[in-house]
Amino acid sequence: MKERKNVYKLSAGDETLSWYAKAVIEMKKRPTKDPRSWNYQAAMHNIDKTSPFWQGAGPFVNNTEAREFWDQCQHNTWFFLPWHRMYLSWFEEIVAKTIVDLGGPSDWALPFWDYSDTSNPHALTIPSAFTDPGNDTNGLWITGRRRHTLRKLDVSLKAALRATSFSGSGVTALPGFGGGETSFSNHGSQTGQLEAQPHGTVHNTINGAMGNPYTAALDPVFWLHHANIDRLWQVWLNLGHRINPVKSSWLDFKFEFHDVDGHKVQMKCSEVVDTRNVLSGYTYQDVPQAAPIPKHEFEVLKTSDFSMPLEIVAATNKKVNLSSAKTVVHLKLDPPPKKKASLAFMEKAPDKPQSTILHFENVTGKGVPPTQDVYLNVPDDEGNKESFYAGSISLFGLEASSTPGLHHSGSGQHYALDVTELMNKLRTLPNWNEKQLDVSIEPAWEMDNDASVKIGRISLYTE
Ligand code: C2O
C-alpha cells in the first residue's frame, strides 16, 4: 500500500520530488508514440497540436489510436472523479517504474498539494521545486505559468464539501459534489462543485499550460493538483451521509489506459471507489478511511434521489456577455406567475433550511477567459466585500465544452453556486430589496483579446 504524502510535509532531505523530476526528464526522452512517454500521458488528457506547448512533440500516433486513447479527460460529468483517479494511478505506476529503472526507491508515490491548508503559510504557492530553477534542467518546471501563488478565493472548499449528493442534475436539483449524471461524454455540461472550485480555479490561476485542458497535463504540477482533488473525494466521503453513485451506468463504466509495460488496460468506476483497492492500493497522509455507512442509512441514501424539485424565482431573459470589466446583472425577483416559491415565502419560514441556488446556464466562449468571482448585493462602497462573495466560476475548459464535437454537445458549461447561507444573511440586512438581486461578476484578471464568455441565462432557484 502506497501513501501519497502532503508535498509540504515532506521531511528535509526527502527525495520524492527529486526523483519525480528525474522521471519527468526520462519520460520526456521517450517518443510521443510511446504510451509511457510524458507527451503521450498528457495527450490522454487532451491534445491540441496547434498549441505552442505541443510544438515539436510529433510524430504522433495514428488517428485510430488517438481516438481510442487521447482526449479522454472527463469534465463536467460524474465521471470526472473516477476517470482522473484512474488516470493518476496508471501515471503514478509509470513514473514509479521509471524511477526504479533509474536506480531510485521502489516505493515512490505521487505527493499532493494541499493549497487549502490554512495551517501552512506557504500553502497557496507552488512548491519551490517546481519553479526553481526556472529552466529546462528542472524536470518540474514548465514555461508559461502566469502565477505561482493562488488566490485565497481559488481554494475555498466550502461549496464542494457542503454538497451532499454526488451528482446534481441541472437546475432542478441541488448541485452535486462530483458532476452531473451523463452518458459517456468528455465534456458534459454539469460541473460538479469540487471540479468548479478549487479544481478549475487552481488550473486557471496558474494558467499557461495548466489553464487549458488541452495542455494541462504537460505541467508536472498538474499531477499534484489532481492528487489533492482525488484526496478531497475521500475527505468528502469521510464527512458522512455521503455516498458514491450506485447506478450501474456509473459503476460499470469502463475507461482505457496503458500499464507500465505499455499494454492496454481497462478499468471500471467500481474498481476505484476505494483507494486501497486501486492497483496496488494507496491512502492519503492524514486522511482516514471513511467509516462504513450503516446499512439502513445506506439504503436511505441510495434511494433518496436528491432531485427535490427546486423552483425558479428569477432569471435573466437575455444572454450576458462578459468583458474585462465587472458585469452587474440585476435579477428581478418577482416570481413568474403560477410559481408558488418566492423569497417572501422563504421569509415566513426562517427556521426551515431553504436552499437557494444561483445558476449560470449554457456558459460558452473562446480562449482562456479569466476566473469570474461572483458577489451578491455588494454595497456601493465595496466595504467588507468578502462577506458578499457567492463563489467563483473558473471557466476551465470553456472552449472545449463550447465546441460541438465527437463527445460533447457544445452547449457549454453549467455552474451552480449554493448561495443559501449568503441569501439568508442578505435578507436580514437593512438594504435588502425583495424585488431585486444584484449579481456582480468580476474577472479575476484581464480578459485576453482572443477570449470571450457568454452566459446563456442566470437563474435563481429555491426549494
Ligand atoms: Cu482533466 Cu484538472 O483536469
Ligand 1 atom nearest residue 217's Cα:
3
By three-state DSSP, how is residue 359 classified? strand
pLDDT digits (tens, 9 = 90+) for 434-446: 899 999 999 999 9
Ligand 1 atom nearest residue 199's Cα:
2
CA distance 182 to 205: 28
Q: Return the C-alpha cell found at 363.
A: 456558459
By three-state DSSP, how is residue 61 classified? coil
Q: Is 213 touching ligand 1 by the criterion CB < 6 Å?
A: yes
Q: Is 216 touching ligand 1 by the criterion CB < 6 Å?
A: yes
Q: Kindly give the distance from the C-alpha atom of residue 199 to the centroid of ligand 1, in angstroms, as a whole number.
A: 8
Q: Is 187 touching ligand 1 by the criterion CB < 6 Å?
A: no
Q: Return the C-alpha cell found at 177.
A: 459534489
pLDDT tens digits in sequence order for the chain, 463 residues long: 999 999 999 999 999 999 999 999 999 999 999 999 999 999 999 999 999 999 999 999 999 999 999 999 999 899 999 999 999 999 999 999 999 999 999 999 999 999 999 999 999 999 999 999 999 999 999 999 999 999 999 999 999 999 989 987 666 677 899 998 887 666 667 889 999 999 999 999 999 999 999 999 999 999 999 999 999 999 999 999 999 999 999 999 999 999 999 999 999 999 999 999 999 999 999 998 878 888 988 888 887 655 567 888 999 999 999 999 999 999 998 654 444 455 554 554 445 557 899 999 999 999 999 999 999 999 988 889 999 999 999 999 999 888 887 566 678 898 999 999 999 999 999 989 989 999 999 999 999 999 999 999 999 998 7
Torsion, CA 304, CA 460, CA 410, CA 201, rounded to 10: -90
Q: Write the residue with the smallest CA distance to atom 3 of ligand 1.
A: 213
| Reported pTM | 0.94
The burial of 380, by beta-carbon neighbours within 10 Å (0-12 exposed, 13-18 middle, 19 or more buried), is given as exposed
Inter-helix orientation angle 80-101/221-238, to 10°: 130
CA distance 366 to 453: 7
Q: Is 209 touching ligand 1 by the criterion CB < 6 Å?
A: no
pLDDT digits (tens, 9 = 90+) for 50-59: 999 999 999 9
Q: What single-letter DSSP state applies at residue 395? A: -
Q: What single-letter DSSP state applies at residue 112? A: B
Q: Is 203 touching ligand 1 by the criterion CB < 6 Å?
A: yes
Q: Alpha carbon of 379 to those of 85, 226, 311, 320, 392: distances in Å?
A: 43, 37, 28, 22, 19
Q: Alpha carbon of 124 to those of 115, 155, 404: distances in Å?
A: 5, 8, 35
pLDDT digits (tens, 9 = 90+) for 414-435: 899 999 999 999 999 998 998 9
Q: Kindly give the distance from the C-alpha atom of residue 186 to the centroid of ligand 1, in angstroms, as a whole number.
A: 11
Q: Kindly give the distance from the C-alpha atom of residue 231 to the centroid of ligand 1, in angstroms, as a whole number.
A: 14
Contact (CB, 8 A) for 64 and 155:
no
What per-residue confidence (pLDDT) applies to 339? 43
Ligand 1 atom nearest residue 225's Cα:
2
